Amino acid sequence: MKNLRKVSLYLLALMVFGFASCKSEDPTQENDGEVITDVTLKFQELNASNALVGSVLSFKASDPQGIEVGKTPTIQSISLAKGKKYQMTIEVTNAIKGEDITQEILTEAAAHQFFFLGQVFDSSFFSIQYADAGGVALGLKTIVTVSSSTGTNNSNMRVVLRHDLNKSFPGASSPTFANFAQAGGETDLDLTFPVILN
Amino acid sequence: MIQKAVMLCLGMALSLSTLSAQQCDLVLRGKVLHLENNQPIEAAYVWLPESSIGVATDANGNFTFRNLCPGKKTIQITFIGHKEIKQSIQLSAGTSNLTFKMEEEAVALSGVEVHGHREAVQTTTAVSTLYGEALLQSRGESLGESLKRVAGVTTFSTGNTISKPVIHGLHSNRILILNNGIRLEGQQWGAEHAPEIDPFLADELTVIKGAETVRYGPEAMGGVILVNPPALPTTDQSKTELNLVGHSNGRAGNVAVSHSGGSNIIKGLGYRIQGAARRAGNVRTPQYFQGNTGMSEVSGSAALGYSSTKLGTEVYYSYFTTQLGILRDSHTGNLSDLLEIIENGAPFTQADFTYTINNPKQVVTHHLAKVKAHYHLNPSWKLNFQYGFQQNNRQEFDRRRGDLNARPSLDLELFTNTAELFLEHNLKSQWTGSMGLNLIQQANSNLPGTGVTPLIPNYDLVNAGVYLMEKYLKGPLELEAGLRYDYRTLSAARYIGNDLQEANLNYQNGSAFLGGMYQLNANLAFTSNLGTAWRPPNVNELFSQGLHHGAAAVELGDADLTSEKSLKWVNSLEYETKRTSIELTGYTNKIQDYIYLNPTGETFVSLRGTFNVYEYLQADAFFYGFDLSGTYNFSDHFKGYAKGSIIRAKNTETNRYFPFIPSDRMDWGLSYEFGKDTERQNRLTLSQVLVAQQSREPDFDLAPAPPAYSLVNVGFSKKIQLFKHDFSVSMQVNNLLNTEFKEYMNRFRYFTADMGRNFQLKLNYQF
């Protein structure tokens, strides 16, 4: 009987300890790290000798809360002149955390790649080449040539950022590779800009 | 086609069961139990002096005498350390069923055996147990895979490394898993969260198919799985078991050791230690490797127990840790990614074999400690106490940019305390039963620093329950009934952006069951169990809000969900003769306010692309089905078996089908045993698994149900004596024909074919 009392006392002590230590932590605010809130396409005209001329045209797509149900992103229309050649650079930021994601993409150039699709390419209104430093196929910097004769003034361009793909997959070296999914990886960005051609 | 074959075979197996009544052939059946705890006594010797025949009881305490002549007989039962039973019985027509309870000998003779105190399942509902040879065959597999051997149990899996057991169409939080008597509390809500337990710690896996809420607490709506380690030795005897398993597919290796022993100084003191490790690389389908599907797992357990005539105590600890690679291509960025890969039907990423596990992956660790004690107040009354502590850590890693890649996107820590106090009585009259109190306390925290808004909030949960059960046992009849009341509180909190979201919720419910078993004649027994169960909505169902990474789905919880309530009726018929054994189980399960994830049909657009939107809804559901299993001995050498199951589940409000309900399936096989001596130590087996296409699909699914398939498996096992101890070698080939197939219950059917041919080598040595 004495033993029993001792045992039950130990058990009780253990239980009290267990139950007392069992309390959830207070929740903390978590800043979503990988969220992209703003994608800016910057165009600057290139003259016949491939020198940058004129002012920079910026067109932005933004979703201030990142991915949040019920909110849709606002996307500005890209407005460019027919028959001209532009250098396009892409800036990607997380405004919630004040992060420049462009730099991260550049650092991980081997695992990222932009693809450019949509009617502007299907109807040959645009032609595009990668122009990133070091000759990597990345797409943060490209050369876009707008055709001088387009059947319509209103069109669209789809911008896709793939992460973790096999960059040496046959066809993946083209910036307009439509079967990018076959190269593996996943999509980080997929948005369509309206395009107005003057 | 295969569906028809399943039906046909089930029909044939049924027709085998035509009963043959023989003249003047009396049968005496009985059960021998420990008086103090109602546990079955194995290897008690039952002797009929007049007929000069005797038998030993089996693991369930059962014995059978056949071909007896009518008249008065003496029955004598002996078991070491217990008072002998000598009783006179009158045998007349048909079958006699008797229950004997043996009382422990009070005199402490030298060499008296203090038996181990192992909990036996005392239930009138359908129970299936995997042990011995069948368990040996399953060594090296996960809990879910192992239990597929039981008719009516399937798996809900995510690739080949993550599988959750499904009992009668229900899984996750609708079934309970007990690790040595303690409810396993992990993050069971997730479809891709496998139970944190290694079946190597058990020498017995039991599936209870009835609603056992009264006995085990809320959520045991579909059934209960008991993972039971062997009883601790109480005498100075030691046993060591060594298992080695190798698989060609995934080049997996598995080693497991267990050792148990007893003290010769302190009588009744015994211990057991056990450990297992497993490593596997990328799984191969018939055509290609699945990228990043390797896994590693380490587990172990230790137990120390002391038993005296009145007091029994046990301390137990088990540890489990695993790292699971998730098929790279199953993690998609948005809906168009997902649809592309579904259309392709196979992963885009070309993979080679590797053991390396990259993101996406899961790292899960589970600790479970328990203390158990019981005290015999007198020969009829026993007081039990059990306390368990569990810690579950789950980290899920996604493919992310920069430093975030090294940080988990989901980092959960779950503490659970369970305490139970119950009083059991086992009267010399026909009544046995128990009453008790039951407490569960749980605290879940999201560890900061993931850089992702948590999928589920931090929460504290307390559940208190009281119950009462009583069983009446007389001859061929067993009757059982029970009542329970539970109260649960849940307080949850989380930040979404800058908004603090808080909720305090209460749930309460009563549950009850009524069950019975009747031995109709020598060969036929009938059990029936009607039980209610309830399940409060889970935290993810209440509070999910946001993107389910990888699934291209936005899931929306609903804090106003109410508890699910179910009424399950399980009937089973067991027929057994020398040559034939058949078990047929039929059930219905009516669930009120069944919670399910419903596609809204809407999509949600973001910079990342488009996602499907799902919401948690409630509707009344009706499940019913049949399980059939049987064996037939054609001769001493040649045996056959067949088993199959059919499940139907409908939303009775909309008359539509629910997703992920197992399709009709069966498997059958033949075995041939041969060898020089009478023990026939060589065995050759051939089996075939037939799975029908799920034609009862929900209105919305990302991809149609995969076609029916058939797999052929062969095996050879040999038992030899090595240094005077049992050594068994077994070779199996699963999916011998390297058939390419997809299983409806595997969530990765959207992305990849299932596992191809797999050679397995299993060695088991016991000394």
Whether residue B376 sits in one domain with residue B300: yes
More confident residue, A98 or B714: B714
**Residue B6 forms part of a structural domain:** no
Residue of B299, B304, B295 whose CA lies nearest to B319: B299
Q: For residue B244, what are the β-bridge partners? A: B255, B763
- CA B418/CA B179 separation, integer angstroms: 12
Task: Give the pLDDT band of residue B549 (cuts 50, 70, 90).
Answer: low
Inter-chain residue contact B493 with A27, CB threshold 8 Å:
yes
- Chain A CA closest to residue B454: A30
The amino acid occupying position B580 is T
Nearest to A186 among B337, B347, B444 (CB): B337
CB atoms within 10 A of CB A98: 8
Inter-chain residue contact B546 with A108, CB threshold 8 Å:
no
Nearest to B459 among A24, A185, A189 (CB): A24
Whether residue B82 sits in one domain with residue B131: no
Residues contacting A166, CB < 8 A, separation 6+:
A172, A183, A184, A185, B349, B350
Nearest to A65 among B331, B373, B497 (CB): B497
Inter-chain residue contact A22 with B443, CB threshold 8 Å:
yes
Inter-chain residue contact A32 with B453, CB threshold 8 Å:
yes
Residue of B720, B603, B734, B687 whose CA lies nearest to B9: B687
pLDDT of res. B694: 94
Residue of B341, B604, B380, B181 whose CA lies nearest to A68: B604
| Longest CA pairwise span in chain B (Å) | 87
Shortest Cα distance, chain A CAs vs residue B371, angstroms: 8
Structure tokens at B626: 């049949």
What is each CA distance from B380 to B33, B35, B286, B668, in whole angstroms? 13, 7, 60, 45
- The CATH number of whichever domain residue B670 belongs to comes to 2.40.170.20
- Chain A CA closest to residue B456: A27
Phi, psi of B299 (to 5 degrees): -145, 160
Domain count, chain B: 2
Task: Encode pLDDT of B653-669 as tens digits.
Answer: 999 999 899 999 999 99
Phi, psi of B2 (to 5 degrees): -65, -35
Nearest to B399 among A11, A183, A186 (CB): A186
Shortest Cα distance, chain B CAs vs residue A134, angstroms: 21
Chain A residues inside the 8 Å CB shell of B348: 181-184
Shortest Cα distance, chain A CAs vs residue B384, angstroms: 11
- Chain A CA closest to residue B455: A30
User: Which residue in the block uniquely carries the two structure tokens 């935290």?
Assistant: B539
Task: Give the pLDDT band of residue B16 (cuts 50, 70, 90).
Answer: very low
Shortest Cα distance, chain B CAs vs residue A103, angstroms: 10
- Which percentage of chain B shows pLDDT scores above 70? 92
pLDDT at residue B486 tops 80: yes
Q: Which of A74-78, B47-51, B605-609 is most confident?
A: A74-78
Inter-chain residue contact A189 with B545, CB threshold 8 Å:
no
Contact B223, B121 (CB under 8 A): no
Q: How much is the mean pLDDT over chain B?
A: 86
Inter-chain residue contact B337 with A36, CB threshold 8 Å:
no
**Residue B210 forms part of a structural domain:** yes
pLDDT at residue B512 tops 90: yes
Contact A141, A179 (CB under 8 A): no
Q: What is the mean pLDDT of residues B372-388?
A: 89
pLDDT of res. B121: 55
Structure tokens at B129: 């147990």
Structure tokens at A119: 């009617």
Nearest to A29 among B373, B402, B498 (CB): B498
Residue of B107, B174, B210, B180 whose CA lies nearest to B528: B210
Whether residue B196 sits in one domain with residue B300: yes
pLDDT of res. A99: 83
Residues contacting B530, CB < 8 A, separation 6+:
B513, B514, B515, B567, B568, B569
Structure tokens at B302: 């230790």
**B373 touches A: beta carbon within 8 Å:** yes
Task: Encode pLDDT of B727-752 as tens digits.
Answer: 999 999 999 999 999 999 998 999 99
Chain B residues inside the 8 Å CB shell of A15: 387, 417, 419
Contact B103, B376 (CB under 8 A): no
Shortest Cα distance, chain B CAs vs residue A53, angstroms: 31
Phi, psi of B220 (to 5 degrees): -80, 60
**Residue B120 forms part of a structural domain:** no
Interface of B with A in 579-608 (CB under 8 A): 604-608
pLDDT of res. B109: 35
Kind of pairing between the strands at B553-556 and B609-633: parallel
Chain B residues inside the 8 Å CB shell of A166: 349-350
- Chain A CA closest to residue B349: A184
User: Which residue in the block uniquely carries the two structure tokens 């169960």?
Assistant: B533
Contact A197, A82 (CB under 8 A): yes
**Residue B451 forms part of a structural domain:** yes
The residues spanned by each domain of chain A are: 34-197
pLDDT at residue B8 tops 50: no
Chain B residues inside the 8 Å CB shell of A4: 311, 375
Interface of B with A in 714-733 (CB under 8 A): none
**B700 touches A: beta carbon within 8 Å:** no
Kind of pairing between the strands at B175-179 and B223-228: parallel
Return the H-helix or E-strand segment holding A10.
helix A2-20
Least confident of B97-101, B219-223, B350-354, B589-593: B97-101
- CA B242/CA B310 separation, integer angstroms: 34
pLDDT of res. B550: 62
Residue to test with chain A: of B329, B341, B387, B401, most A Cβ within 10 A: B401
Residue contacts between A and B (CB atoms, under 8 Å):
166
- CA B98/CA B96 separation, integer angstroms: 6
Shortest Cα distance, chain B CAs vs residue A161, angstroms: 9
**B405 touches A: beta carbon within 8 Å:** no
pLDDT of res. B18: 34
Contact B280, B250 (CB under 8 A): yes
More confident residue, B209 or B29: B209
The amino acid occupying position B727 is F
**Residue B16 forms part of a structural domain:** no
Task: Give the pLDDT band of residue B399 (cuts 50, 70, 90).
Answer: confident
Environment class of residue B164 by beta-carbon count within 10 Å: exposed (0-12), middle (13-18) or buried (19+)? buried
Q: What is chain A's pLDDT, residue by residue, as a tens digit (198 residues)?
A: 556 677 677 777 777 777 766 788 888 887 776 788 899 999 999 998 889 998 999 999 988 777 666 677 899 999 999 999 999 999 999 888 788 889 989 999 999 999 999 999 999 999 999 999 888 999 999 999 999 887 788 899 999 999 889 999 999 999 999 999 889 888 889 989 999 998
User: Which residue in the block uniquely carries the two structure tokens 């017995």?
Assistant: B204
The amino acid occupying position B538 is N
The amino acid occupying position A69 is V
Task: Encode pLDDT of B268-280 as tens digits.
Answer: 899 999 999 999 9
Inter-chain residue contact A33 with B400, CB threshold 8 Å:
yes
Structure tokens at B67: 């071909």
What is each CA distance from B644 to B13, B167, B436, B511, in whole angstroms? 10, 13, 37, 31
For the beta sheet containing B95-102, the strands, ordered from the edge strand earlier in sequence to the opposite edge, are B62-68, B26-34, B95-102
**B504 touches A: beta carbon within 8 Å:** no
pLDDT at residue B585 tops 70: yes
Inter-chain residue contact A191 with B341, CB threshold 8 Å:
no
CATH for A34-197? 2.70.50
pLDDT at residue B15 tops 50: no
Chain B residues inside the 8 Å CB shell of A106: none
- State which residues form the domain around B408: 127-766
**B160 touches A: beta carbon within 8 Å:** no
Shortest Cα distance, chain A CAs vs residue B489, angstroms: 14
pLDDT at residue B358 tops 80: yes
Kind of pairing between the strands at B95-102 and B26-34: parallel
- Chain B CA closest to residue A27: B494
pLDDT of res. B6: 43
3-state secondary structure of B335: helix
User: Which residue in the block uniquely carries the two structure tokens 């009267």?
Assistant: B427
Inter-chain residue contact B446 with A27, CB threshold 8 Å:
yes
Chain A residues inside the 8 Å CB shell of B600: none
Inter-chain residue contact A4 with B311, CB threshold 8 Å:
yes
- Which percentage of chain B shows pLDDT scores above 90? 51
- CA B320/CA B698 separation, integer angstroms: 36
Contact B156, B191 (CB under 8 A): yes
- Chain B CA closest to residue A164: B399
pLDDT of res. B463: 94
Chain A residues inside the 8 Å CB shell of B604: 69-70
pLDDT of res. B265: 86
- B272-292 as b/e, with b when 16 or more CB fall inside 10 Å? bebbbbbbbbbbbbeebbbbb
Residue of B422, B706, B519 whose CA lies nearest to B96: B519
Residue of B740, B642, B754 whose CA lies nearest to B687: B642
Residue of B14, B47, B15 whose CA lies nearest to B32: B47
3-state secondary structure of B570: strand
Task: Give the pLDDT band of residue B105 (cuts 50, 70, 90).
Answer: low
Environment class of residue A168 by beta-carbon count within 10 Å: exposed (0-12), middle (13-18) or buried (19+)? exposed
pLDDT at residue B10 tops 50: no
Contact B349, B330 (CB under 8 A): no
Whether residue B29 sits in one domain with residue B157: no
Whether residue B94 sits in one domain with residue B149: no
Helix-strand-coil split of chain B, %, nearest 5: 10, 55, 35
3-state secondary structure of B538: coil
Inter-chain residue contact B454 with A8, CB threshold 8 Å:
no
Structure tokens at B708: 């029916």
Structure tokens at A74: 């606002």
Q: What is the mean pLDDT of residues B526-549?
A: 88
Least confident of B298-307, B346-355, B673-682: B673-682
pLDDT at residue B84 tops 90: no
Inter-chain residue contact A184 with B336, CB threshold 8 Å:
no
Inter-chain residue contact B546 with A69, CB threshold 8 Å:
yes
Shortest Cα distance, chain A CAs vs residue B492, angstroms: 9
CB atoms within 10 A of CB B196: 28
Shortest Cα distance, chain B CAs vs residue A147, angstroms: 28
Q: What is the mean pLDDT of residues B634-643?
A: 92
Inter-chain residue contact A30 with B349, CB threshold 8 Å:
no
How many residues belong to chain B? Answer: 767
pLDDT of res. B730: 93
Nearest to A69 among B443, B451, B604 (CB): B604
**Residue B119 forms part of a structural domain:** no
Phi, psi of A106 (to 5 degrees): -65, -40
Q: What is the ipTM of this complex?
A: 0.85
* End-to-end Cα spacing for chain B: 49
